[in-house]
Each structure stands twice: as C-alpha cells, then as structure tokens.
Structure 1
Amino acid sequence: MKEEKQNPKMKSLRKVILFLIIVLAFFLRVYKITEYPAGLNADEAAIGYNAYSLAVTGKDEFGHPWPINFQSFNDYKPGLYFYLALPFVKVIGLNELAVRLPSAILGSLTVLVLYFLVKEMFSLELTRIDFRINPNTLPLVAAFLLAVSPWHLHFSRGGWESNASVFFMTFGVYLFFLSLRSPKNFAFCTLSFALSMFTYHSARVVVPLLALGFILFYGRKIFVKANFRWLAIAFLTGIIPVTVLIFSFLKQEGTSRFSGVGIFADQGPFWRTNELRGQHMNPFSIFPKVIHNKYLEYSIQFFDNYLRHFSGAFLFISGDEIQRNRVMEMGQFYWIDLLFLLAGVYFLIKNKPKNYLFIFYWLAIAPIASALTFQSPHAIRALNMVIPLEIIVAYGLLNIWRLKGGLFRVFIVLA
C-alpha cells in the first residue's frame, strides 16, 4: 500500500495494463465467435433451443416448467447456463452468438477475477524471503496468461457450461480469501460456489473438496468468534441450494449422468478382473479373489485416469483425445509453458510464499471429477485445472525472468 501511494504513476499504469489485458481477453473470445468453432455442437443446440422454449412458453422442450436440471439428452444438465443464455436468445435470437456470448463474457470476467484472486492470495508479501519483483506484477502476468490460454480460450468461445462453472468457482475462491479479512463476504462466497454447482456436474465434486481445503488450511482463521455471525449467514445462504442438490441426487436427474459416463459405466475393469482370475489354477479360490477384484481394478483405473491429466501428452503435446475439446495440433497449454510450470513448482516449494500449499491442493483436486469418468483425461470436466496451473506458470515465469539475463528475457518474450 505504501508503495502505491509513493508511486501513483505505477498504480495508474497497472490499471491501464489490466484494462488492456481484459480487452484482449474479450476480443480473443468474441472475434468471429459465430464462425469458429463452426456450427453449434449438440449440447450448444440443446441449450439454445431450451432457452428459446423457456422464453416463449416458460417450459423446456419436454414441457417441464422452469426446471433446475434440463432433461436434454437424458443427461439432465444443470440448468444455470440455460438461464444465462435465455435473455441473449430472447434479444438476439436463436443463433450461435446468443448461445456462446454468455460463455465469452464469463470467460473474460474469469481473467479479471484471477487478477484479484492472485493479488489477494499473495498480497504485498509474495514470499518470506527477499523477492525483487513488484508483488503487483504476478497478478497481471497470471491474468495475461489466462487471457491467451488455448485451454481457456477454446471453451470460452463455445456455449460450455463448464466455462461458466469455472468463473463462479474462481470467484468463490477469491471471495473466500477476501472473507478472511472481511468476513461479511462469506455469504457471497457460499452463493458463488452454489452457482458453480448449479452450472456443471464436475463442480459438485470439486467445490466440496475446495471447502474441505479451506477448513484444513484456514480453519483457525475461519472459526473465530468474530466470524460466527457471518458464518451463520453463509450457512443459511447455502442450506437451500445444498438441500435442492441433495434431493436431486436422490432422483433420476441426479444420477443419470454419472451412470452414463461414470467410471463404473466402463465394463473393461470388470472383464479384466475375470480374465486375470482365469489365469489361476482355481479362479474361484480366495487368493485370486483377493488380488483380482473389481474394486481394485476400478481403483487402478481411477488413479490412471487421474495421473493422465498431468501427462505431458495431454497438457503440452496432443491435448484431449476428443477433437471438439481441444485446439488442433497442440496440447492444452503452449509447449513453452512446460518450462515455466516446472520452474513455478520448484520456486513455490523453495520460497514457500503465502498460500502456496492451497494452490497445490487445488491443482491436486481439480481433475478428480474428470478421473471418475471413463473418458479421461477430459479437458471439459477438468477445466478448473487451468486456474491453479496458470498461477504456477506465472510464478515460474517471473522467477526465471528475475534470475536470468537480458537475452533470456528476449527469448521469453518471443516464446
């Protein structure tokens, strides 16, 4: 704070740079948005038509009035994105722009939220050692990296519910850290996380794990007497949406999606168990049943799915195997990001900046929902990985920039 008062020109410059980053992010997300990607995919078409049906009749395509989950292709999509698209469809018409514009706007806003999140997490104390980088630089770099991220860009240019969910999730994390010094924001944090869970299935796994992380890492700061009133308000704010979610899980609409794409829908581990048991002299004896069983095989499948989200092939070379989920001929990140990612991990562990453990925790839980499905690694379901990864990449880039000479800095800029 003192530094900003002493150097108002730098403060103004940072605001200008942030504004330009947001303009760049929005431009990259809306330029020829109706042409690239070409045409609406099936999910986008379902969102658009149901939003149109709601605008005209107040019911979805199956005649359900104002549903929370949309039946669609019997996958019962969480409904918030449908409602976000509704006013655009009503004003612009049923077309690509109306379906995709909410995602482009929220994707651009995620860049802005990431700036404030990184600034709040690291504050003016970037590390516990002498760190000769202006602490306001890291948020700008992180925001810029997300603005041009191929992973985030791709899903911001389509009507993807997961992209909207990541916005609300990131905003919820920001509001949580803001709540640690301004507890009245706990209720808004809870609301933002609830909106995330009403937008996309994966958030219903990741958000509770984030909440668990908050308790593990910051429980002593949360549960203090001064916060009890605000925590009570936050609890009352969250109890209604959580109750609605719990009841939806007890119905077909809450389980149909997982039964269709969940890891147990893949019969491969089951047949593999029978095949391995058949290699024993007595397949029905206790020993084959102990070392070859469906629980073990599905556990192995889950961990394999999980680890593949961190593979070089997925992140930096070929990306998601499903064509519509990636930018062609590249990974989910630029190849140069590998250098900065490794540097970021190293320097975070070495320097131990404020909140660094939570960044690793978020990255660790981010792909869990995706790993619980048989199509894995999956760039849509694991999209929230992009937030902690870009923070780490930004941290690594700045540390390398500080340590190396002028020629290396030119290389970074050109890369």
Structure 2
Amino acid sequence: MKNLFILLLVCLFSFLLFTYKITEVPPGINGDEAGIGYNSILISRNLTDENHNFLPLFIFAKGSDWKQPVTVYTTALFFRIFGVSYWLLRATSIFFILVALVILYLISKEFMGTNFFLISSLILITTPIVLIQSHLALENIAPLPFVLFWLWTTLKFEKTKKTYYLFWGGTSLGIGLFSYLGMRLIVPVLTFLTLIYLKKHIKQSIYFILGISPFFLLLLVAYFRYPSAVFGNFSGATQSVYEFLLRYLSIFDFSFLFFKGDITAYHSTGKAGMFLAATLPLFLIGVFKILCNKKPFEILILLSFFLSPILFGLVPDIYRASRLLALVPFYAIISAVGFLSISKKPWIIFFVIIMAINYFYFVKDYWFDYAERVKKVFPIPIERTYEFHIKE
C-alpha cells in the first residue's frame, strides 16, 4: 500500500507539472496538432476521418502529413468520453507519460525497489524533451509506454521464465510501430537485441516472435495502401558509410543531448538539451556501473540506448531530439543506476542541488520566456485552427 501511495504521488506531481500552462506554452496550435485534433473529433463522432475513410489505419491530415493511429485514436477516445477541448487535445500526451510512469514502477519493483522508482521517475519527468512534448498534441511521446512495457515483460521473463511475458513484450513493440513514424527504425533494432538477449532460450523466443510478427506483417500489407504513411519521406538518403556514421554518431553529440537540443523551435527551447545537463555525470556513472555488474538485463538497457537509434543513420536530418523519445526510458534507468551507486556518498547532495537549479532555470525559461520566442518563428495556421475550434 505504501508503494502504491508513492506511485500515486509521483503521478499526481507529474500531472500538475505537465499541465501547468499546457494551453499557453507553446502558444496557439500548429498544423500537426490541428490535424490530429480535427481528425480525432471526426473519428470520435462518426468513426471517419476528414477524407471520409472509415476507421483508417493511418490518417492523412490535409496541409500536414500522415498521422499514426495510436495518438489519433487515443485522443478520439478521450474526446468521446470527456468531450472536445484544446486542453484535452494536448493532455493526451500527458496520458502516455503517466502510463509510462506506472510501467516504470512495475519495472522498479522487479529491479531495485521503491528508491529506484523515485530516482528513475524523477529523472524521466525532469527530462526537458519530456516536458516540451507533454505540451504538444503530437505523436512523439507515444512510444514511451510501449518501450517500457517491453522492458518490463523481458525482466519478468528473466525472473519467472513464463513465456507469455515474451509474447506480450513482442506485442507491445509491435503496437509501438504504429505509435510514431520513427519507431519503424527503432523497433527492428530492439527486436534484434531481444533475440540476442534470448539466445539461451531459443525455443521460448518463438513467443516473442509470435507477438511482434503480426504487426510487421500488418505494416507490410499497409505499405501497398499507405506507402507514404509507412515510411514517410524516407528514400534511403545515405550515400556512404561516412554519411551513415556521421548521422548516427551525431545523436550522441553531448552539445546536442545536454545543451542545445532539437534544431526545430517547437521541439526545443534552444537553451537546454534533450536531457538535463546536470544528469550527465549520473548517466556516465550508471554506464560504468552496468559494465562492471555485467547483468544481462542491465546490458540490454545499455545496448538499447546506444544501438536502438542506429538506423537513423539512414535519415538525412540530424539533431532531431523529437525523434528520439524512445531513448528516454533507457537514459532514466541508466542514470538512476548511477545515482543509487553513489547515493551513500556525502557529496550526493551536490548532484541533487545542481539538478534542482538546472531544472529550475529550464522550466523558468520554458514557462515564461520560450512562448514569446517561439511564436515569432511559427505562425499559427489559421485555417487548421479554425477547423479544430469550429468542431469544438
């Protein structure tokens, strides 16, 4: 009961943190948000999108692009239950974060206990890119619960050897394929890492394959009807090994991860990185500790952080933190391992104070100065905003 109370407090704190100024920062509503909102309204009312397609797998938002089903249908469900509102449109992103926190709690129970949950959840919710995405009605944040559920089922299998956990882990990653376009590049790598992790359980790994295979098959079939929705504008941009490595290694540029963040104004304040800079020492300590421990599950998490985005080397753009939300759970867990390994040191309070100061300056800028900066860069799409609000 005490542990559940702690989970409730963490979720309540997160809800209050993420909903503060949710409709004010960033200001207005951009084209992608309006497209998701408009189609979610239509689906919630008559089960068709703006193109009059009945319960489509992918949704084409005019003036924007193809939308993935997880966010649109989740938003449509909330609109159906609670009614249409701009607040709820953006708050759907917070729902994904809260579900992720619950699953992180389940992982912590099997992993290192309540203290681990407190630290890892704190690192996750104070990650700058998480707060930024929580205020956007976009798809980028949706992969979090699916990645964490896969980790939990993998850990449960390691402890119980019950094969149905592998099936549900594969299913979770399979659904994750449809949560965000970039997951088409991440899930295949996580699938490969899972099979390597299960190399001593070859017969049991078939359950994982059975869980995920239908979703790969569905994606293949969908390609013939929604080719642009399945792969976006991807056209195999890499022309050499050098370009591939440049794009992949740019993901781990410390200036990008901890100081500058995404190159697009709606996904970054320009004054903070994807991760909180003060957590970098904890992450490095966590990496060292995991390498020393040599525990298979911890190694899987470490490899997932560094290898899951490798196929982004095929994509021309670099420094796009908004595409890398799937890395956040791995980062939070690794950093929490680092924190707990030095938690009994007298100078641990130094890290806590620095983290608090670092986060304070980030949220101060985000809540009160960022909105003014960003509205000068992105005009509000009047026609799409009208379509959304007229339905509201």
Q: Same fold (TM over 0.5)?
A: yes
What CA distance in whole angstroms lies between the structure 2 residues aligned with 1:75 and 1:373? 18
The question of whether the paired residues in 2 share the 8 Å contact of 1:370 and 1:378 is answered with: no
Q: TM-score, normalised by structure 2?
A: 0.81
Measured after TM superposition, the shift of residue 363 of structure 1 is 0.6
State which of 134, 149, 153 in structure 2 corresponds to 1:175. Answer: 153
What CA distance in whole angstroms lies between the structure 2 residues aligned with 1:79 and 1:88? 14
Name the counterpart of 2:164.
184
Please list the CA deviations of residues 209-239 of structure 1 after superposition, one character each: whole Å capped at 9, or x if unmatched: 2121111122223525xx87xx2xx655544
What CA distance in whole angstroms lies between the structure 2 residues aligned with 1:259 and 1:185? 32
The answer to whether the aligner puts 1:347 opposite 2:289 as a matched pair is: yes
What CA distance in whole angstroms lies between the structure 1 residues aligned with 2:88 and 2:71? 12
Q: TM-score, normalised by structure 1?
A: 0.77
The question of whether the paired residues in 1 share the 8 Å contact of 2:153 and 2:169 is answered with: yes
The answer to whether the aligner puts 1:376 opposite 2:354 as a matched pair is: no
What CA distance in whole angstroms lies between the structure 2 residues aligned with 1:343 and 1:40? 40
The question of whether the paired residues in 1 share the 8 Å contact of 2:18 and 2:134 is answered with: yes
The question of whether the paired residues in 2 share the 8 Å contact of 1:75 and 1:257 is answered with: no
Tell me which moved more, 86-95 or 162-171.
Answer: 86-95
What CA distance in whole angstroms lies between the structure 2 residues aligned with 1:366 and 1:354? 17
The answer to whether the aligner puts 1:159 opposite 2:137 as a matched pair is: yes
Please list the CA deviations of residues 59-109 of structure 1 after superposition, one character each: whole Å capped at 9, or x if unmatched: 211122111011225732222211111122234444322322221111122
SS at match of 2:17: helix
Measured after TM superposition, the shift of residue 320 of structure 1 is 0.9
The question of whether the paired residues in 2 share the 8 Å contact of 1:21 and 1:147 is answered with: no
- One-letter code aligned to 2:287: V
Measured after TM superposition, the shift of residue 189 of structure 1 is 2.1
- After superposition, the Cα gap between the structure-2 partners of 1:366 and 1:354, relative to the gap in structure 1 and judged at 3 Å, is closer
Give unpaired runs (5+ residues) of structure 1: 1-11, 124-134, 265-293
What CA distance in whole angstroms lies between the structure 2 residues aligned with 1:315 and 1:331? 5
Name the counterpart of 1:59.
48
- One-letter code aligned to 1:247: V
The answer to whether the aligner puts 1:32 opposite 2:21 as a matched pair is: yes
Structure 1 residues 12-411: aligned runs within 5 Å: 13-73=2-62, 75-120=65-110, 122=111, 136-180=114-158, 181=160, 182-221=162-201, 223-224=203-204, 231=207, 238-251=212-225, 253-255=226-228, 258=231, 260=233, 264=237, 295-296=239-240, 299-402=241-344, 404-405=345-346, 408-411=347-350
Measured after TM superposition, the shift of residue 388 of structure 1 is 1.0
Give unpaired runs (5+ residues) of structure 2: 355-392
- After superposition, the Cα gap between the structure-2 partners of 1:369 and 1:161, relative to the gap in structure 1 and judged at 3 Å, is farther
- After superposition, the Cα gap between the structure-2 partners of 1:161 and 1:38, relative to the gap in structure 1 and judged at 3 Å, is same
What CA distance in whole angstroms lies between the structure 1 residues aligned with 2:239 and 2:314? 14
What CA distance in whole angstroms lies between the structure 1 residues aligned with 2:185 and 2:36? 23
Identity of aligned residues (%): 25
- After superposition, the Cα gap between the structure-2 partners of 1:309 and 1:143, relative to the gap in structure 1 and judged at 3 Å, is same
SS at match of 2:142: helix
- After superposition, the Cα gap between the structure-2 partners of 1:179 and 1:71, relative to the gap in structure 1 and judged at 3 Å, is same
- After superposition, the Cα gap between the structure-2 partners of 1:334 and 1:238, relative to the gap in structure 1 and judged at 3 Å, is closer
- After superposition, the Cα gap between the structure-2 partners of 1:146 and 1:153, relative to the gap in structure 1 and judged at 3 Å, is same
What CA distance in whole angstroms lies between the structure 2 residues aligned with 1:394 and 1:239? 33
The question of whether the paired residues in 2 share the 8 Å contact of 1:302 and 1:371 is answered with: yes
The question of whether the paired residues in 2 share the 8 Å contact of 1:175 and 1:185 is answered with: yes
The question of whether the paired residues in 2 share the 8 Å contact of 1:22 and 1:147 is answered with: no
Q: Comparing both chains, which one has the higher relative contact order based on Cα–Cα distances under 8 Å and sequence gaps of 6 or more?
A: 2
Tell me which moved more, 255-264 or 322-331.
Answer: 255-264
Measured after TM superposition, the shift of residue 148 of structure 1 is 2.1
Measured after TM superposition, the shift of residue 22 of structure 1 is 1.9
Name the counterpart of 1:412.
351
Measured after TM superposition, the shift of residue 50 of structure 1 is 0.7
Tell me which moved more, 238-247 or 80-89.
Answer: 238-247
Tell me which moved more, 107-116 or 66-75.
Answer: 66-75
- Report the count of equivalent residues: 351
Measured after TM superposition, the shift of residue 46 of structure 1 is 0.5
Name the counterpart of 2:377.
none
- After superposition, the Cα gap between the structure-2 partners of 1:335 and 1:240, relative to the gap in structure 1 and judged at 3 Å, is closer
What CA distance in whole angstroms lies between the structure 2 residues aligned with 1:379 and 1:411? 28
Structure of greater Rg: 1
Name the counterpart of 1:130.
none
What CA distance in whole angstroms lies between the structure 1 residues aligned with 2:146 and 2:297? 20
